[in-house]
């Protein structure tokens, strides 16, 4: 394909179908399930879904997702305390 021809071709990121205009390609991608495959995956088990609503519904019952979500929540709720500093560990720079 020559450089002139390449500038006039727009390709769907999912199914590689070619279009004459960018608008046509973008309109197609909105409805092309292959273009959205990577976007609708369960964060726990990586199962793919055609629609976001299906992925969200699955995540409500996915044991791996629920365990991951619980681990992240526990880490966020953890308070880390500064260790107490001993006065003996602080150097004394007073001159005699």
**93 in any annotated domain:** no
Residue-number span of the structural domain to which 60 is assigned: 41-77
Number of domains into which the chain is organized: 2
Residue range 8-17, pLDDT digits in tens: 788 887 888 8
CA distance linking residue 47 with residue 59, whole number of Å: 10
pLDDT level of residue 64 (50, 70, 90 thresholds): very high
| Tens-place pLDDT, residues 7-61 | 678 888 788 889 998 899 888 888 886 776 667 888 899 898 878 889 889 999 9
C-alpha span between 26 and 36 (Å, rounded): 12
Q: Give the separation between CA 88 and CA 96, rounded to whole angstroms.
A: 18
Q: Is residue 3 part of a domain?
A: yes
Residue 49 covered by a domain: yes
Helix, strand or coil for residue 68?
Answer: helix
What is the pTM assigned to this prediction?
0.43
End-to-end CA distance of the chain: 85
The CA-based dihedral angle spanning residues 8, 39, 48, 43, taken in that order and rounded to the nearest 10 degrees: 160
């Amino acid at each position: 394909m020559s450089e002139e021809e390449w500038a006039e071709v727009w390709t769907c990121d999912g199914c590689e179908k070619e279009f004459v205009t960018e608008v046509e390609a973008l309109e197609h991608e909105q409805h092309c399930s292959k273009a959205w495959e990577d976007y609708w995956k369960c964060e726990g088990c990586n199962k793919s879904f055609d629609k976001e609503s299906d992925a969200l519904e699955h995540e409500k019952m996915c044991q791996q997702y629920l365990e991951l979500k619980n681990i992240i929540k526990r880490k966020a709720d953890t308070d880390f305390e500064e260790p107490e500093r001993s006065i003996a560990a602080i150097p004394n720079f007073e001159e005699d």
